A and B are shown apart, each in its own frame.
Chain A
Amino acid sequence: MLQDSVQKFVHRHYSFDDRNAIIDSGSGYSDECWQLFAELGWLTVPFSEDDGGFGGLATDMMVLMEEFGKAMVVEPFVPTAVLGGGLVAALGSEQQKEQNLGPLMEGKLQLGAALYETNGRYNLASVGTTAKRDGDHYVVNGSKILVLNGESAQQLLVSVRTQGAERDEQGISVVLIDAASSGVHKKAYTTVDGHRAAQISFTDVRVPVANCLGAEGEALSALRRVVDRATLCVSAEAVGALDMLLQKTVEYSKTRKQFGTAIGTFQALQHRMADMFIECQLARSIVVMAAMKLDSNLPDAEKARAVSAAKSRVGRAIRKVGQEAVQLHGGIGITNELDVGHLFKRVTGIETLFGNSDFHTARFASL
């Protein structure tokens, strides 16, 4: 049902040309589409029924994201609904949820999660941004890299250190910061795969203590759980995009003629497409595994391990399928005019998001 509804939306509103026009627009996403997302109920998918959502199942998010992946949807679903909304849902008080999740699901609130720093690479516990108590305020100082949707986000969810040293697991809090606050400086840009992000620095930004989500200094495990859900989401998005790359490559090989015949008749190329198919299927399988485990009652460590396994394996599929799709297309595969190059760029971007294959392989081994 969800799949059907996204496919209809893509058919009507999200051709390759539509997408290009959206990327070139001022905000880098279509508010019209976003309002449709809200009307169709997609923005409720990541949230539990208790929080007013559709159920919050990873398997549902997976279905939605896979379809987004096929069409290379650039609207900030992951940063706003999965990361930002996810942090509010996981850590926030009833009042904080009410203030944020309602408007979010109605399509009226854009969020961004500022979680990563230059020295931290993919380590969520590496938080050098500090929040020092001053009466009933925190004073926040520090800098975050690549905040997805950082440009349009009205509220930022920022990981800050309320105590401890840079990589201590204890002492990390998540605070809600109004993006218009004095001392918030954004350097916004488009990413290589057509999304929007920003580098954001905080200089003596005063934040009410009431804006801390959950118990002060205790945010890390929730932070990891929420980022794991986002990681599952982009992995599922990659599965959709990789299937498109395979499909387009097979189609092209049937129509492109060289040496008097379609190149798809060459066995050397047929086997490579068979290898791409195997990669796509393994990527799909391991993402299904991770989504099912996230929806289960398994311990947190098991779930984290499943997500890392998925992201690591999907990353390998991305390299292989992405590169082969381009190679089998030849030069046309790296031109702007064809969607194949853009799918290649998106999956490559996903490979880096929330930790690349090497990071997740190591995390898998350590859990």
Chain B
Amino acid sequence: MNASFTAEELQFQEDARQFLEAEFPKDIRAKVEQRVRLEKDDYVRWQKILYKKGWAAPNWPEEYGGTGWTAVQKYIFAEQMARFGAPEPVAFGMKMVAPVIYSYGNEEQKKRFLPDILASNVWWCQGYSEPNSGSDLASLKTSAVREGDHYIVNGTKTWNTLGQYADWIFCLVRTDNSVKKQEGISFLLIDMKTPGIKVSPIYLIDGTPEVNEVYFENVKVPVENLIGEENKGWTYAKVLLTHERTNIAGVPRSKVRLEKLRALAAKTADGNGGSLSDDPIFKKKIAEAEIQVLALEYAELRALAAVSVGKAPGPESSILKVVGTEVAQFIDELYMEMAAWQSLPFVPDQFVEGFSGEEIGENGEAATALNYFNNRKASIYGGSNEIQKNIICKAVLGL
């Protein structure tokens, strides 16, 4: 771990910058800058460009299509992506189910699923939480009963993000009721086109149908869609959640958002003839956020350094999840405070492609409160921040 980049790393940074400059579609970049919501096509089009370049899945092992980058290169690339506002590949396929498939799936499953994930031919979504199983995920009740060559799946999954776009869903299902709750769970891949699956949107308070409930009624799933061994799903899921957490710190994005915030503050009137950049209270808040992001950045680099010498990402990743989401939420608050009155209009149409009416506010000001509301989810999902603290207590502090 070094405080500055080597010449090779600097060259890589330049290559990444040039690639993004040339290949990240200008229309998607404009949407991101104007805070227009991205559609499925935007994600898929961009991910296919990354795929063509061979950069779709930096974290995968090379044999399945990973880039073979060092931890520092991955870090540099993520930072450049954030700088251009380029969206990270949608996590469910690339970052969540793929590691489980290449770690625990059989050869047939690897061949069948990984290439389509890498090439963004198939959109995946997650079937973990249930209405009565949130933080206590292991209490899940969706059942999969073996009948000949199939499982028959019944139950309800919730907080399913962007499931309306999905071709496949990976699910935790109960295959044994007679044992300790963690020991009767299996990891099942299900084609969303199977009869008996219904997707129903849940509207959030920012007005978006971003998440869904997914209902399973006598859904027939071939047994070859089981990952690994029956009743070992909890072990696989825990590994997956650890991966989710290391990706959750969001340092590059927070850094870029803070830079933009500072630039916008300099252009925002303070009401007294100066700009918000002159406002000591606001200045102090930005500085505090920057300092927190710096500490988080070096916490992440230390964790990466540990992984690069062969240690699996451990409970330390809980720190990245807690602090990463909290600092992102604090930045949401700062944007909202900066927009002041203009944070209040509820004009979601303004942030949908093709809007041509009269705009309220500038620089996405009218999206700031909505972002603040929406992103309260960050401290809830991926193992709530309370669960992360339980993990720290148990696994690190020995309490």
Q: Which residues of B contact A (CB under 8 A)?
A: 129, 132-136, 139, 158-159, 202-206, 211, 269-273, 279, 281-282, 333, 336-337, 340-347, 358, 360, 369-370, 372-374, 376-377, 379-381, 384-386, 389
Q: Which 4 A-B pairs have the closest CB atoms?
A: A121-B271, A123-B271, A258-B136, A341-B205
**With A123-B272, A345-B205, A356-B340 in contact, do A258 and B376 touch (Cβ < 8 Å)?**
no
Cβ of A334: which chain B residues have Cβ within 8 Å of it? 204-206, 373-374, 376-377
- Are A191 and B380 closer than 8 Å at their CB atoms? no
Min CB–CB distance B131 → chain A (angstroms): 9
- Are A336 and B203 closer than 8 Å at their CB atoms? yes
Instruction: A347 to B384: give the CA distance in the assembly, Å.
Output: 24
Closest to A268 in B: B386
Closest to A266 in B: B386
**Stretch of A47-55, A241-249, A324-332 contacting B (4+ beta carbons < 8 Å):** A324-332
Q: Which residues of A contact B (CB under 8 A)?
A: 116, 118-123, 126, 145-146, 166-167, 187, 189-193, 197, 199, 257-260, 263, 268-269, 319, 323, 326-327, 330-331, 333-337, 341-342, 344-345, 348-349, 352, 356, 358, 361-362
**With A189-B347, A258-B135, A352-B341 in contact, do A342 and B205 touch (Cβ < 8 Å)?**
yes
Contacts between the two chains (Cβ within 8 Å), count: 133
- Are A191 and B373 closer than 8 Å at their CB atoms? no
Min CB–CB distance B284 → chain A (angstroms): 10
Min CB–CB distance B241 → chain A (angstroms): 16
**With A335-B202, A356-B337 in contact, do A259 and B271 touch (Cβ < 8 Å)?**
no
Apart from A260-B136, A352-B341, what 12 extra A-B contacts exist at CB < 8 Å? A187-B360, A191-B344, A191-B345, A197-B344, A197-B345, A258-B134, A326-B376, A327-B376, A331-B158, A331-B377, A335-B204, A335-B205
Instruction: A56 to B342: give the CA distance in the assembly, Å.
Output: 31
Instruction: A344 to B358: give the CA distance in the assembly, Å.
Output: 28
**With A122-B340, A192-B373 in contact, do A336 and B205 touch (Cβ < 8 Å)?**
yes
- Are A344 and B272 closer than 8 Å at their CB atoms? no
Instruction: A28 to B369: give the CA distance in the assembly, Å.
Output: 20
Min CB–CB distance B378 → chain A (angstroms): 11
**With A121-B270, A190-B346, A358-B337 in contact, do A331 and B374 touch (Cβ < 8 Å)?**
no
Q: Which among B272, B273, B346 has the highest number of chain A CB atoms within 10 Å?
A: B346
Cβ of B279: which chain A residues have Cβ within 8 Å of it? 358
- Are B377 and A191 closer than 8 Å at their CB atoms? no
Cβ of B374: which chain A residues have Cβ within 8 Å of it? 334
Give 15 A-B contacts (CB < 8 Å), ordered by A residue: A119-B271, A120-B269, A121-B269, A146-B342, A192-B343, A192-B370, A193-B344, A197-B344, A259-B136, A327-B376, A330-B384, A331-B134, A335-B204, A348-B372, A352-B344
- Are B269 and A331 closer than 8 Å at their CB atoms? no
